[in-house]
Amino acid sequence: MPVLPSHNSLMSEISRRSFFDRMTDGLYGVALTSLIGQQSLRAAEKQPFHPAPIPENLAPKRPHFAPRATSVIHLCMQGGPSQVDLFDPKPALKKFHGKTAPRELTGNAVFEKDRTGKLMQSPFEFKQHGKAGAWVSDALPHLAQEVDEMTIVRSMYNVHPNHEPAIYKMQSGQTFPGHPVFGSWITYGLGNENQNLPAYVVLADPSNRLPTNNVDNWMSGYLSPLYQGTRMKATGSPLLNLAPDYASVDQVARTKQDLLKQLDRLHQKQRPGQMELEARIQNYEMAANMQLEATETLDISQETPETLAMYGIDEKETDSFGRRCLLARRLVENGVRFVQLYTRGQIWDNHSNINKSLRTACGQTDLPIAGLLKDLRQRGLLDNTLVLWGGEFGRLPTAQITSAAKMNVAGRDHGPYGFSAWMAGGGVKRGLVYGNTDEVGYASVENRVSIQDWHATILHLLGMDHEKLVYERNGLGERLTHQFPTRVVHDIIA
């Protein structure tokens, strides 16, 4: 709770009678403000959009233009899934397996070690799937059946080969901390459809091990704390202290909440311009509203056995990630704007024995993600829900080994120069493979897509112009896509 003035100092400023007079005025004011806000929102729908200033609250906000998507589920595959073992087969790797790549195939290499490493063929078998014949390896048998829902972008690239800076880049557009992540930018620009649930929900692994970069993955930087991610649990109470310690009559509880709200607003009025105080007050008010709705939204006992099986729930390998995929569907179904899922640690960071370690990562996530796409489609939610899958980078086409005799247990090092990611639903083309890497899968060479291009395209699908989504700070117009040139990848939009 915000720190309130002492009893004596409070009573020295207002009498008991004037306090309750002001409280009554405040209650009428809250009702009047709500009515005026609803009328203003309806009036704004008839007016051209004006990008600034954006109100500091989570009420629904009008986008710059008609959106194709209204919510986002980001499947954050930290560690760097290998493109040449999942979505981007390279026959040259089989031809030159165990050999140094010919010079004509290494023209895109940034470092000399990348020219001299031993090329390694994929231990996985690739087949074409779907109407468009997209290539997918046998490591993803369930997602292979869903490729007609996807745009697979084979030409992504990042600017840094280390996890921490590359993850910051993927999340915020910068390679260092302190900037808002793109989930915060989205909730800043659009608010939330459901005022009883957070706009930005994080479903991290239930273990105490946070992902790389910890809570920086969902921090709001210099934006208001209103827009940072709220971590929820997939089992048990979704949030600590969500349920009250004791039962009370509903009317008594509501009267108590109203009184606390009035005291908070009196406290805030004496301290104007304190963004964190405003955010804390609004978060406490939301917490009161969440006590019922969050518990109901995250109660998967309402789901049928067929739905639970679709996500792999109650199966040892898939239960954890499957539960979170199902919760993501339930959250967007109930008006949450942005949901982000993380795997346990960096299961995609396959530096050794990629045949085993990559299969493990795929085994934990393949069925649940395919189930998510099927479930969204069956419920009519996929048309306006944008699903994103990908890591901060991919892997090199060479083996990370010290001896050629260990090729059979080799892994791959980080490869930021060209990797694969995919999108589904929310206005992207179905059954499309976009862009290409070079002959060995080292770097993107055709229809290259930078991280800022990816961000700009996501914002566009949500109805926002990345150049107009601006936050004024110290005389600077801060944006998610701060680097030039940046383009919206219209070729992948339906």
C-alpha distances in angstroms, 205 versus 210, 240, 319, 343? Answer: 7, 16, 11, 6
pLDDT at 101: 87
> Residues with Cβ < 8 Å from 90, sequence gap 6 or more?
84, 122, 397, 437, 439, 440, 441
The model's pTM is 0.82
* Cβ pair 244, 292 in contact under 8 A: no
Find the mean pLDDT for residues 229-238. Answer: 80
pLDDT band at 50 (very low <50, low <70, confident <90, very high): very low
pLDDT at 26: 45
pLDDT at 41: 43
pLDDT at 284: 59
Domain parsing of the chain, residue ranges: 1-42+256-292, 54-238+298-492
pLDDT digits (tens, 9 = 90+) for 280-293: 666 656 666 666 67
Indicate whether 30 pLDDT > 60.
Answer: no
pLDDT band at 167 (very low <50, low <70, confident <90, very high): very high
pLDDT band at 16 (very low <50, low <70, confident <90, very high): very low
Cα distance between residue 324 and residue 15, in whole Å: 52
Indicate whether 272 pLDDT > 90.
Answer: no
Q: Give percent of the chain with pLDDT exceeding 70.
A: 78
Cα distance between residue 440 and residue 442, in whole Å: 6
Indicate whether 48 pLDDT > 70.
Answer: no
pLDDT at 484: 78
Q: What are phi and psi of 100, to 5 degrees?
A: -70, 135
Indicate whether 354 pLDDT > 60.
Answer: yes
Mean per-residue pLDDT of the chain: 86
Find the mean pLDDT for residues 302-323. Answer: 97
pLDDT digits (tens, 9 = 90+) for 449-477: 999 999 999 999 999 999 999 999 888 89
Which range (20-29, 249-258, 264-273) has the least confidence?
20-29
Indicate whether 379 pLDDT > 80.
Answer: yes
Report which listed range, 224-228, 325-329, 404-408, is most confident: 325-329
Q: Helix H segments across 177-274?
A: 182-190, 250-269
pLDDT at 296: 83
> Residues with Cβ < 8 Å from 78, sequence gap 6 or more?
163, 167, 211, 212, 342, 343, 345, 346, 348, 349, 391, 392
Beta-bridge partners for 202:
231, 340
Closest C-alpha among 36, 470, 58, 19 to residue 281? 58
Find the mean pLDDT for residues 63-85. Answer: 98
Token reading at 217: 């993955």
Class of domain 54-238+298-492: alpha beta
* Cβ pair 311, 318 in contact under 8 A: yes
